[in-house]
Structure 1
Amino acid sequence: MVFGIEHKVKSHRLGRRRKKGGQKMLVAPWIVITLVCVLVASGLTWGFVALLRSGCSGDMWRVTVAAAPSVYGSLEDAAQAWEREQPELDGQCIGVEVTEVSAADASRGITGNWDTMSFGNRPIAWAPDAQAWGSWLASGEATAGYVTSEPVVLGEAGSVLAVAESTATELGWLGGEPPTWQAVVDAAAAGTINLAAANPRSSTEGLVALLNASSDGAGGFSQPAADAYAAAIEAGSSAADASALKDAYLEAGDPSQVMTMLDYQVEDFNSTVAPEVPLVPVTPSGTSVSAVASYLVLGGAAWVSESDAEIAERFGAFVASQVDSGAFSDPELAAVDDGAAALAQTTPDAVGSAVRAWQSGAQDLNVLFLLDWSSATMEETVEYGGDTVEAGIAAVRMAIDMVGEMEPTWRAGLWEYGVGAGGESNWRSVVASAEMSQEGKSALTDELYALSENAVYEGGAPLYDSLVAAYGDLNEHLVEGAANVVVVLTNSGMDTESLPTVEETAQTLEGMAGAATVYTVGFGEADAENLTSLATAAGGSYLPAPSEGGILGTIAPA
């Protein structure tokens, strides 16, 4: 992005006031001459200093900073303030471009395949809304050296449980001693509360809650505490993030639902929804990890050069000075008095142990993407990721986003359909099912990018026959112990190419009665009725495509 430079012009008068009565000069001429010389010299000195300060030339070279939504605005303000100082490196004007990327998305992209279509250039610096993400990055053998500098602490948000005020009062959690984490999981096991947790691999609120609930009380990890927390969630519910938890809470209207959130998310809920019974934040005793937002310069990665890292370091120093002076502030974050203590809340060992324990206890996912690549996908535009794009391109971007979010042990494959896609059939396999390791993700993502550059198939969208074929194939290649899912991505739902009707296709899917599930994702003017009928026949559901993605959190097992 190009930052404008603010020009401030002092107010002035037009013309001069006349002196009364033609008064004579009361200052000796030699004094005036001396004063003029001083002013001229001062002007030359000021001009020389200004010349030195504007010593950079040419186009400005900016490095990318990926910032979580809660700190994006404040960091962008800081970037503009820094550029007004005209920083330079070897005569080159320098700056930073701040891009908004959730901490979870950035974490997956930095450790795996960065989605430039959705998130822009790979970052040189990263500002997650919790230092725990930096500790997770440092816990991996391949990425342990990616953070090369001392993080700059930007502020923090508290990890809390969001509880209906009536429920918190009834349980004695207000006005007295707060419950321990053990008391919370015990209440969930007894059915007194319904513990609803955000996913720690897709949300900051879920990650810090996991770290607090699985703590050994001394900054380390406790497997028994983690097991008890997982059991409490299994008895309750889970969702991708706090936003999904709040939607489920409003839909269910269950005051016994207790949700993992950050403190400002509770405030936002009460102010925007204005519920009859407000939520109150409850911080269980023993909570030692907060969401400490920080600024990290990346290093040790192939895409980070020494000069780019130096620019990011210099911007970090500027941000640190703003934090120290109080010029940097964010309405969602509280100031941190002791930065070193805040950073010490999480360690790579503790975070790595907690997240890996969570992953090992979760069910794997096996996805077959069924992508509509008929001409209709390019005849309609939709909003996705803040851009207006063709529906087919939005579908490709959503699939890429989902691949980026997948765990390494999960599997995915890709089919496309359109008239003549497979020669005699109207569908074909583009990528065979494979584990979503870094290599697997790269291969599938590359094919999705390549697909977006290929011509579409002229004619209608032969969904019905293609879905029956995909559903049958997945049922023949089920992954034992995993959730096996066909995900249809289309802006249609009407099919004039297949012989059976939608009702007949639904009956066929019901008759196949396989262990796989079908989710249909509709973009734009997709036929929601038809897509719902097909999905429910195979045990799934229809999902209107959200403009910001996030579908994986709905279909993935907790």
Structure 2
Amino acid sequence: MKGRTRAGAGALAALLAVSACSFVEGAGVAGTLRVLAGSELADMEPLLAESAERTGVELVLDYSGTLDGTERIVAGAVEDYDAVWFPSNRYLHLVDGDRSSVRGETSVMLSPVVLGVSASRAEELGWVAGDGSVSGVTWEDVTLAVEEEGLTYGMSSPAASNSGFSALIGAASAMADSGAALEREDVAGVEERLATFFSGQELTAGSSGWLMEEFERRRRDVSGSGSVAPDGVVNYESVLMSYVPEAGEDPLVLVYPEDGVVTADYPLTLLAGASEEAAAAYERVVADLTSAEVQARIAETTFRRPAAAGVSERGFPSVVELPFPARREVVDELVAAYFSELRRPARTVYVLDVSGSMSGSRISGLRRALTVLTGADEGPLSSRGQVFQEREEVTLLPFSDEPGEPVSFVVEPEGADRARRGLAEEIAALEVGGETAAYDAVEAAYSLVEEAGEDGYLSSVVLMTDGEVNRGLDLDGLFASLEGLPSHAAAAPVFTVLFGEADAEEMERLSSRTGGRVFDARDLDLEEVFREIRGYH
């Protein structure tokens, strides 16, 4: 996602001429705001550096997933921060009804969640007009394209990422077509069509940024893995507009469902526990970021729409904004239904190092981290999305000198508790000893995925090892063994957990080759890492 599209640049050129307000003049007293922020805000850092020069206030951003960050706010685990900055506070306000955790908030920029589709596929579907634009397409039209034309797409997890969360709310609200905020009975009435819509989801992710990176990687197959890119991707308008096709590559066209979308408004939010000094610094930063010139700079460099009153949105297509559900239980039940009924079920093979180096605290930490995923969690939204879900197939594949015997459980709706108990017992029984044949075990995991066939599951592999691979295949040998896999197996990413003395470079090569991601557990609790990985299944 480097640079910007020619169409996007032209659409935004008018914003650069805006000059109704002046920048906030810099202060003599420097200050710092400690901010817990959504990871997609990394592209704002150059603009925030410019803002610091004018205001004397530096924003120090620590990144977190939106819904994980919301959970931390509700739990009161944000004492190290003065403010938070996520794409939306909507779910936070449903959970924190009296808004006791928030002292103030100001929307800084806007980006609706829409669908980007390859231009050739959109033309095949009859969505592209003579001028190259797309209009008149509804969420039901997209669902029909999935059902009748085999349209596929990627979307982030609604239990981890706001873009996936917003897409789920948007599709359900538009299909319900009640003219009001979504209610429980509305969800029940559209579950069948939602399940059809989500049958087209070929790619999932824990963040909107990684989703786009993986979509791009699959389109270009830079690793030679043979994984096939979906036809499109659901993401923020700004992310999709930032996509730059390579020479000769099919560009993306943006589809704005005419029956409505949910828009992220990126509220910079002062926490209730912030000091008076932090509050004063917050006001200075907000005044600067919402000035006309800075709003135009944000639009030109990040493709997010201006949020400040009186600043023109010329160049951006108009959208219909759908009402957000007014009750928490409606949202929670919809997200739960997404995992248990609507989306394609997940198949995950956990390849677990039980070599001698894992003895003591390491194997105890692994047992604890995995056991957390087996339990029913009545906590906030993201916690419920991180436990093993109904219909999910979970395989434990321990290894040391060689791959062990895989043990699989399907969390069937009528036997979910029994399956989770069985998983917990297998995890508790893990024994350590021997050397490290990690790549033999990964090869065995792919064999399991291949043997399962094309049965509608979204498959992935999680490799957790704490040491150097010293038995069996080396990494190049593993790559050679994976050549020629059928497409359903080749599409399975390997998510590697970097732990102990594991080779960081090799773990990165393995994840990159397969379309996965490295999670660094050397300085984090394994439980936190495994919870984060769940957003990618």
**1:243 aligned residue:** 213
Q: Among 276, 279, 292, which residue is 1:307 paired with?
A: 276
How do residues 127-526 of structure 1 correspond to structure 2 at under 5 angstroms? 127-128=85-86, 130-131=87-88, 134-141=89-96, 144-149=99-104, 151-175=105-129, 177-215=135-173, 216-217=176-177, 218-221=179-182, 222-223=186-187, 224-225=189-190, 227-240=192-205, 241-251=211-221, 257-269=231-243, 271-299=244-272, 304-307=273-276, 310-311=279-280, 313-319=282-288, 321-322=290-291, 326=295, 329-330=298-299, 331-332=301-302, 333-336=304-307, 338=309, 347=324, 349=326, 353-354=330-331, 356-363=333-340, 418-419=356-357, 421=359, 428=364, 431-432=367-368, 433-434=371-372, 435=375, 463-464=399-400, 468=404, 480=418, 497-498=434-435, 519-521=462-464
1:293/1:353 CA distance change after superposition, 3 Å = same
1:201/1:219 CA distance change after superposition, 3 Å = farther
Shift of 1:285: 0.9
What percentage of residue pairs aligned between the two structures are identical?
15
Give me the whole-angstrom Cα distance separating, in 2, the residues matched to 1:343 and 1:147. 28
Task: Look up the SS of the partner of 1:65 in the other structure.
Answer: strand
Give me the whole-angstrom Cα distance separating, in 2, the residues matched to 1:519 and 1:193. 28
Count of aligned pairs = 402
Q: Which has the higher strand share?
A: 1
What are the Cα deviations for residues 337-364 of structure 1, in whole angstroms up to 9, with x where unaligned? Answer: 6599999865462676345412233149
Shift of 1:198: 2.7
1:227/1:244 CA distance change after superposition, 3 Å = farther
Shift of 1:109: 3.8
Task: Look up the SS of the partner of 1:362 in the other structure.
Answer: helix
How do residues 26-45 of structure 1 correspond to structure 2 at under 5 angstroms? none
Give the AA of the match of 1:359.
Answer: A
Shift of 1:185: 1.0
Give the AA of the match of 2:233.
Answer: M
Q: Among 46, 64, 70, which residue is 2:34 paired with?
A: 64
How do residues 106-125 of structure 1 correspond to structure 2 at under 5 angstroms? 106-111=69-74, 122-125=80-83
Task: Look up the SS of the partner of 2:260 in the other structure.
Answer: coil
Structure 1 or 2, whichever has the larger Rg, is: 1
Shift of 1:327: 7.1
Give the AA of the match of 1:418.
Answer: G
Shift of 1:280: 0.9
- TM-score when normalising by structure 1: 0.55
Give me the whole-angstrom Cα distance separating, in 1, the residues matched to 2:445 and 2:235. 43
1:109/1:328 CA distance change after superposition, 3 Å = farther
- Work out whether residues 260 and 319 of structure 2, in 8 Å CA contact, stay in contact via their aligned partners in 1: no
Give me the whole-angstrom Cα distance separating, in 1, the residues matched to 2:218 and 2:308. 36
What are the Cα deviations for residues 160-191 of structure 1, in whole angstroms up to 9, with x where unaligned? Answer: 21112122123221226421111211221224
1:437/1:232 CA distance change after superposition, 3 Å = same
- TM-score when normalising by structure 2: 0.57
Shift of 1:497: 3.2
What are the Cα deviations for residues 60-99 of structure 1, in whole angstroms up to 9, with x where unaligned? Answer: 663311233554454664466456555xxxxxxx754233
